[in-house]
Amino acid sequence: MAKRFTKPSINWTELEKRVSPDQKGKFLAFKAKSVSYLRRVEENPSEPPKINWAEYQKLVPVKGLVDKLKSQYDAFKVPVPEDTLSNSVDEQWKSLEPEIKDFCAELQKQIEGANKELARIKALPKFEDMTMEMYAEIFPDQALDPINRPTFWPHDPEDQIGYKPLPKKQEQIAKGNK
C-alpha cells in the first residue's frame, strides 16, 4: 500500500512570512487549493472496503466467476510511481549550499556597507541647515568649485571647454548603460 499523507508537510506560517505582499493573493489561493485537496484525500478511506466474497458466492449462479474476480481483485495493485528525483534534488541542494552561503555572506557585506552609508547620511546636518561651505567640506568632489573646476551653463560634460567626444563604439556602450 502506498504511503498516505494525513497532514500537510508544509509549514504555511513560515512560508507566508516569505511571500511578498504583492503575491499574497496568489499564495492564499494556492494554500486554499492545497488544503482542499488534502481534505478530499482525507475524506476517502485509506484502505478499500472489504468485500464479502462468501455472500457473492451464494448469489452468483455462474461457478468460478466469483473466484476469478476475487483473484483478479487481490492481484490488482495501483501503480505508484517511484521517487527517482529526490536523491538528485538532495545532491543538487548539497552542492548549492556553499554557493548560497557565499552569496549570503556577500550580501551581508553589502548590507553592512549600506548601513554604514545610511549612518553617515543620518549624521549629516539637515538640508535646510546646510550651507554651501558645509556642502563643499562634506562633498568636495561634488561641490561647485569655480576656481579649480569652473563649469559653464548648462554644466553638462559635453558643453564644457576641453570636452572630447567619445569614439562611436564607446558612445554606443555609454548610451547602452544608461
- The model's pLDDT over 31-53, given as tens digits with 9 standing for 90+, comes to 999 889 888 888 888 777 888 88
Look at the chain and count its residues: 178
Residues forming beta bridges with residue 145, ordered by sequence position: 149
Share of the chain above pLDDT 70, in %: 90
Say yes or no to pLDDT of 171 above 90: no
Phi, psi for residue 145 in degrees, rounded to 5: -130, 90
Q: Summarize the confidence of residues 149-161 as an average pLDDT.
A: 78
Domain boundaries along the sequence of the chain? 1-47, 52-79, 127-166
CA 24 from chain centre, in angstroms, equals 13
CA 140 distance to own-chain centroid? 42
Within 13 A of 24's CA, how many CA atoms are on the CB side?
Answer: 5
Cβ atoms within 10 Å, residue 30? 13
Mean pLDDT, rounded, for 106-130: 93
C-alpha dihedral, 148 to 149 to 152 to 153, nearest 10°:
-120
Q: Where are the beta strands (DSSP E) in 6-163?
A: none
